[in-house]
Amino acid sequence: MLRVGVLGCAAFARRRMLPAMKAHPLVQVAAVASRDAAKAAETARRFDCRPVVGYEALLADDTVQAVYVPLPAALHVPWVEAALAAGKHVLAEKPLTTDPARTRALFAQARARGLVLRENVIFVHHSRHAAVRRLVEEGAIGELRTLHATFTIPQLPDDDIRYRPELGGGSLHDVGIYPVRAAVHLLREELEVRGAVLEHRAGRRVDTAGAALLRSRGGVMAHLAFGMEHAYRSRYELTGSTGRILVDRAFTPPADYAPQIVIESSSGTRTCSLPPEDQIASALSAFVSAVESGSPAPEDCLAQADLLAQIHRVAGREG
């Protein structure tokens, strides 16, 4: 079993990741660290692990083999660097950083130390998306023409860290990362940003919504939309020369949700139903496998980082 320590008691860690780690047969939650002793003790009690006061103390524990970093994006670089320097494998929440150069530097440090570093983009580990790629490759919708991907979530509490620019907040890196990664994951070609916009609602210090137009080297267009003060929407659609594929609840399906893939063509509509799958468990299994094999970091993470930076740059130029 991989002995994992957790740096911080973030809400997402306590709500989703720690329960999944506790249930995973190949992962043992060894310790959870917080600067708040009471919070560390309460979280550790819930997940049957050791409370640690201070992140440095957890990194100094030689029995911890890997760390999960659910801290705000702006804190990822120093703590991922510290974890790698301490000889720990790292699973860090997305985005790994908000700067492609820093993302590359962290992967280089991990590679130089023979350690595994992964960004926790969970949805790509759900088998439904591999099934969609197979359908496209088999010609189910003819020659691929466009991708439309959308991820929007309801308004957050005003004190949420995702409204704080100094912590790396904003819709692009929090929710825009999903349709961007979907384009990278599904199109499998080099992409360039042809247009982008980021919107700032009155009173907000970060972007709260945005859209981007991407084009692949082969001429496929990707239309992406995202926002964090909207009705919930999580889907993508692939349109080809003879049909289209629709995937709803694409990015954050519950573990008990039985996913479907809808294929429309001139011959009619058919639905492929798949069994429920816990994509967080699948993501953890992928991380454990990477640690066991020492496999290199996937290029998709770097392509995603480059596109996010391009969208930010193009939106700033056009805004």
- Distance between CA atoms of residues 160 and 281, nearest Å: 27
Check residue 248 and give left, alpha or beta (phi > 0: left; psi -120 to 50: alpha): beta
User: Which run of H or of E encompasses 40?
Assistant: helix 37-46
- Distance between CA atoms of residues 44 and 223, nearest Å: 43
CA angle 29, 34, 36 (to 5 degrees): 140
CA angle 148, 153, 158 (to 5 degrees): 145
The pair of structure tokens assigned to 235 is 């889907």
DSSP state string for 72-124: -GGGHHHHHHHHHHTT-EEEEESPS-S-HHHHHHHHHHHHHHT--EEEE--GG
- Distance between CA atoms of residues 255 and 277, nearest Å: 5
22, 39, 88, 94: which one is catalytic? Answer: 94
Check residue 203 and give left, alpha or beta (phi > 0: left; psi -120 to 50: alpha): left
Active site residue 94: yes
- Distance between CA atoms of residues 285 and 241, nearest Å: 37
Instruction: Tell me the catalytic residues.
Output: 94
